[in-house]
Amino acid sequence: MNLSPDITDKLEDVGNVDVVIGIQTKNVENTILHVMNVVHEGVTRYLSSYKTLVVI
């Protein structure tokens, strides 16, 4: 899979991470805000000592 130069540049800026969380967003306009809030709460509560990356 080839990523666009914009994405690879951003990934290089992020550097190494311990945890990657992916959120699919197709047809979820009504629930995405809630999902993002729950992910934020979980990362803050359970993964605060790790470097995390959330990919939306």
DSSP 13-46: HH---SEEEE---TT-TTTHHHHHHHHHHHHHHH
Cα dihedral 20, 8, 25, 40 sign? positive
Please report, in angstroms and rounded to a whole number, the separation of the first and last CA atoms in the chain.
18
Q: Are 54 and 18 in contact (CB under 8 A)?
A: no
List, for residues 12-46, the tens digit of each pLDDT value: 999 999 999 999 989 988 999 999 999 999 999 99
What pTM was estimated for this model as a whole?
A: 0.77
Where residue 1 falls among pLDDT bands split at 50, 70, 90?
confident
